[in-house]
Chains A and B, each alone.
Chain A
Amino acid sequence: MANFNLNINGKEYTVEVDPSTPILWVLRDHLQLFGTKYGCGIAQCGSCTIHLGGIAMRSCILPVSQVGSQPVTTIEGLSENGDHPLQEAWLAHDVPQCGYCQSGQIMNAAALLSANPKPSDEEIESAMHGNICRCGTYTRIKAAIKTASASK
């Protein structure tokens, strides 16, 4: 067990956990931030995507000890009122079905758009390859990313 000071969504937290604990479980079990989802635990599905220093990361394989002072953003901190252009585009296209994968999809897409504000279809497909949607909402996810990209 060790103490870690974390900056999450602009707030400071201290948690006492085993250093190997993935940040996913710190968020969910210790901080009750449930927006970041568990889907596979082995970096294969993208449900757990967060931003670490602005870069999309799979939080299920990121030990808390490696976070250091880098700021963490989760879906709860992506925007003030759920009004990030991607969140709005998601609603405009009525993307979700069960909805379980969607916070990870949005976080991954947000990192894509900040690195590449006008991605092509192929660039979207390759950037989103790590995010599974078992309900099969891919056509809408892609359309929503394009809408958000055009709105910027």
Chain B
Amino acid sequence: MSIIKTAVGRRSFLKSTTLTGGGMMLGFSWLASCQSKSEEEIMAMPKEWFEINSYLKIGDNGVVTIYTPNPEFGQNVRTSMPMLIAEELDVDWKRVIVEQAPYHPENFGFQFTGGSRGIMSRWEPLRMAGASARHMLREAAAQLWQVPVDEITTDGGLLHHVATGKTAGYGEFASAAANIPVPEEVKLKDVKDFKIIGKSQKNVDGKAIVKGDPLFGFDYHKEGMLIAMIEHPPAFGMTLKSIDDSAAKAMPGIRDVIAIKSYQDDFEKGGFDANAFPEIVAIVGNSTWEVMQAKKQLRIEWKEIESHTETINGFRGKETKNIPAGLESSADHRAQMQEVAGRHGKIVRKDGDPETAFRHAAKIIERSYSAPFLAHNSMEPLNAFAHVDGDKVHIAAAIQIPSLIIPAIASGLGIPPENIEMEIPRMGGGFGRKAYAHYVVEAALISQRVNAPVKLVYTREDDMTNGIYRPTYHATYRAALDENNNMIAFHVKAGGIPESPLFANRFPAGAIQNYLAEEWSIDSNISIGAFRAPRSNFMAGAEQSFLDEVAEAAGKDPIQFRLDMLKQAQENPVGERNDYDAERYAGVLELVREKSAWGQNQANVHRGVSAYFCHNTYAAHVLDLIMEAGKPVVQNVCCAIDCGIVVNPDAAINMTEGAITDGIGNAFYGELTFKDGVPEKKNFDKYRIIRMAEAPKNIDVHFVQNEINPTGMGEPPFPPIFGAIANAMYKATGERQYHQPFLGSKEVLG
């Protein structure tokens, strides 16, 4: 049993409130708790972390409700969060209702989904809230029954005193518990005593989803609402020049055509205000189809942008970006990357003496890898509802980081942030794209201009061509082997347009005596941003393909080769800033080796292995490929994951299956190219997404069992699958895969 403090000094993570009408309400901060932190560490935490932003309510009827500040986009947090509360509170988790809290900074603070932080950041706070409420209920019962509190036990939402035979539901004591002081410390259960955590529970919204209930942002409806669409420049590097709206305005059902400027000149952009098209045209009408038709009648002149700089005040502080003029093409990008990759980059990490080691090498292996821009293509296209009514603003938008878009909305409308209310409906996929919520600003500006409630919807084409894309990347790896085939030096040089994907302190840094990491980047006017497991989604595939090739050159089994390196990193690490735990890394490789029966080869089954660490979670895959008439068919993926304690195993397996399937799809087909600034794919007829027949026939997921606090699940299994498929394709065809997409529009290999 671990004891956890709920307050330090004047800083408290919990606050009790009485409810009018009875019951108790416990406010808590979901960003932080005191467990395993020293007093100094706690006092050094940002003040916002102590903001009460979530509430646990126990009504007189015994119903438990959690108000969560966290938007949902398919990671099942609406199911896993009640599980954590219910575990410590000792109630049936199905009686715990989760309500999406509206955006309200004073009550709910910073709201964020992304970076697989969902469960991680709430693991302790939710359990603390549950345990504290249980403690207060027991105290209240002890006082009324006049028995020692230690003798009061709980189960399934009931309080018992065995000696006197007294029993009562939580509801009966909820109002009394509200008057009990919040405990200064509470005991949390030991992992071995968990009854709910670690047992698979079904998605609480499953039924509503299969019935087709209107859960999503795109389904938002309000009486009298108008429909808006936008027309943005056809090419990156262009902006609005002039509009001839006469034909469009004459179309049936059209209310207005307006030019929108999304950001005021004095507005300081934050890290998620990326948007290549701040000046666009909006068209507003009565119904979607009418607006779609009239949109085609807009006659707009566009002009090329001039080179400029943009200052972004993001998580890393102020940064200035160069935005070059010009209409970019993928062919030029490839040539530019080739050229810059041939020069020296910026040295980010250097251990030992890599130059000398390479000079003395018996064998040097050098390979380059690349990957294209990718569009997120969430199934639900971008959309937002806004109603600006005088100086009051109502927004309903499925976005990943509600808090961060408020300043842009407030600045654009000239309305103070506290007048903005935001509802957060369910999100039909995000993958990073819906963290960049310029479309919410657009919706608000349109509503203000037409003075009516408006739902802005992007067509699929708008969604795909107004992207905040995964950048295009390039990496060159070199390895030096001595005459005994020991790897004596490792060199990675990585870059991209417009950012570098490098993580200099990740494996194999730390596992090799002589190590050099360099990076570079090339400016671009194409807008980019986070995409499921940013940067890792390229680096993992490149690195793991390369290590496979080095292992082969060294005559070693690819899993053993990696394990040997990890042994070095564990026993005798090189450098100090290694970003991974070599033992856990090796753990997933060992587990996947065992579960996949590695080494027992079957005729005509080609296996590839890959492992990676990102977002605090370790994942390893063994992928089995067969060839059917020249077509690669993924028969099985065996996956081992170490994400600490698995809160909801079946949901974690579902996420992993999805990440694996998504990764295979992107590795095979994912690609967005540009010609003179114009995205060359606009819809799913050209942009190929993996379909059922191409998905793995079977996926086996295994978790490392341990008692480490849970870490992210949405992203970590995604990056390494690129390496597993590349390595299996090599086994099948004898050809290494260096450039994504591996198939593109090709159906067969060879």
Residues of A in contact with B (beta carbons under 8 Å apart): 1, 17-18, 20-22, 25, 28-30, 32, 34-42, 44-45, 47, 74-76, 82, 87, 90-91, 94-103, 106, 121, 124-126, 128-129, 131-142
Contacts and interface: CB of A to CB of B under 8 A. Distances in A.
A37 B287 contact: no
Nearest to A96: B209
Contacts of A90: 206, 210
Contacts of A101: 379
Contacts of A22: 289
Given A40-B460, A75-B212, A97-B74, A29 B227 contact: yes
B252 A18 contact: yes
Interface string B650-671: 1100110111111001000000
A7 B76 CA distance: 36
Nearest to A87: B210
A20 B207 CA distance: 34
Contacts of B259: none
A74 B212 contact: yes
A82 B692 contact: no
Contacts of B289: 17-18, 20-22, 25, 29
A99 B287 contact: no
12 contacts: A35-B214, A38-B288, A39-B379, A39-B380, A39-B684, A41-B683, A74-B212, A75-B212, A98-B429, A99-B209, A100-B429, A103-B212
Contacts of B293: 18, 20
A139 B73 CA distance: 20
Given A40-B683, A98-B380, A101-B379, A139 B428 contact: no
Contact of B379 (A74, A106, A132, A139): A132
Given A98-B428, A100-B428, A132-B379, 11 more contacts: A17-B287, A18-B290, A21-B287, A34-B216, A37-B428, A91-B206, A133-B692, A134-B689, A137-B657, A140-B654, A142-B692
B378 interface: yes
Contact of A100 (B216, B431, B689, B690): B216
B698 interface: yes
A126 B290 contact: no
B203 interface: yes
Contact of B661 (A45, A131, A138): A138
Interface in B290-331: 290, 292-293
Contacts of B211: 35, 75-76, 82, 87
Which of A32, A41, A121, A131 has the largest count of B CB atoms less than 10 A from its CB? A41
A41 B460 contact: yes
Q: Which 8 A-B pairs have the closest CB atoms?
A: A35-B212, A100-B428, A136-B661, A75-B212, A98-B74, A34-B214, A99-B209, A34-B219
Contacts of A20: 289, 293
B662 A135 contact: yes
B692 A138 contact: yes
B381 A38 contact: yes
B611 to A, nearest CB: 20
A102 B426 CA distance: 14
A80 to B, nearest CB: 11
Contact of A133 (B209, B379, B651): B379
A136 B650 contact: no
A42 B684 contact: yes
Given A94-B651, A135-B429, A25 B207 contact: no
Contact of B684 (A34, A44, A96): A44
Given A29-B227, A125-B693, A136 B665 contact: yes
B202 interface: yes
Given A38-B381, A45-B684, A140 B657 contact: yes
Contacts of B651: 94
Dominant secondary structure at the A interface? loop
Contacts of A97: 74-76, 429, 654-655, 658
Given A37-B218, A97-B74, A139 B657 contact: yes
B718 to A, nearest CB: 10
A29 B253 CA distance: 13
A95 B203 CA distance: 9
A87 B210 CA distance: 6
Contact of A129 (B74, B430, B460, B692): B692
B200 to A, nearest CB: 8
B695 A136 contact: yes
B695 A139 contact: yes
A121 B654 CA distance: 20
A131 B460 contact: no
A12 B285 CA distance: 27
Interface in B362-410: 377-381
A99 B215 contact: yes
A76 B658 CA distance: 26
Contacts of A75: 211-212
Interface string B207-235: 10111111110110100000100000000
B720 to A, nearest CB: 15
A37 B380 contact: yes
Given A39-B379, A136-B657, A98 B427 contact: yes
Contacts of A106: 210
B428 A25 contact: no
B210 A45 contact: no
B388 to A, nearest CB: 22
A71 to B, nearest CB: 17
B163 to A, nearest CB: 43
Contacts of B457: 38
Contacts of A30: 287
B685 interface: yes
A125 B202 CA distance: 26
A132 B207 contact: no
Nearest to A144: B210
A136 B212 contact: no
B690 A136 contact: yes
A132 B691 contact: yes
A44 B377 CA distance: 13
Contacts of B381: 38-39
Contacts of B459: 41
A25 B379 contact: no
A99 B208 CA distance: 10
A91 B252 CA distance: 43
B149 to A, nearest CB: 39
B79 to A, nearest CB: 9
Given A21-B289, A90-B206, A137-B657, A40 B215 contact: no
B287 A137 contact: no
A38 B218 contact: yes
A139 B293 CA distance: 38
B224 to A, nearest CB: 13
A125 B692 contact: yes
B696 interface: yes
A82 B426 CA distance: 20
Which of A1, A20, A40, A45 has the largest count of B CB atoms less than 10 A from its CB? A40
Contacts of B685: 42, 44
A143 B485 CA distance: 47
A98 B216 CA distance: 9
B699 interface: yes
B206 A134 contact: no
Contacts of A128: 691-692
Contacts of B377: 134
A32 B214 CA distance: 9
B205 interface: yes
Nearest to B220: A34
A127 B698 CA distance: 19
